[in-house]
Amino acid sequence: MAERSSAIFWVLCPKQSLHCYSKAVSLFQQEAFFIGQIEHAGILKIETYVHHNLENGTMLHGIVMQK
């Protein structure tokens, strides 16, 4: 039987204006990169950074982390 692992999906919510959202995306990506470099038992390990286009043209950005 395969072992299942838990994950947390952290999504950046696009509620700001376009200018504010692009700045938020930049900071979100920097944070994902920074957290991904840290190896500590108290900090969740990042598995991947994802982005997805919604039907209305909005781009969602997210981080999948091991639980």
**What pLDDT is recorded for position 24?**
87
Do residues 14 and 59 make contact, with C-beta atoms less than 8 angstroms apart?
A: yes
Do residues 45 and 66 make contact, with C-beta atoms less than 8 angstroms apart?
A: yes
Domains of the chain with CATH codes: 7-66 (3.30.200)
Residues of the chain with pLDDT under 70: 1-4, 16-19
Closest of 6, 9, 25, 7 to residue 17, by C-alpha: 25
**What pLDDT is recorded for position 17?**
67
* SS (HEC) of 18-30: HHHHHHHHHHHHH
**What pLDDT is recorded for position 57?**
82
Closest of 67, 47, 61 to residue 11, by C-alpha: 61
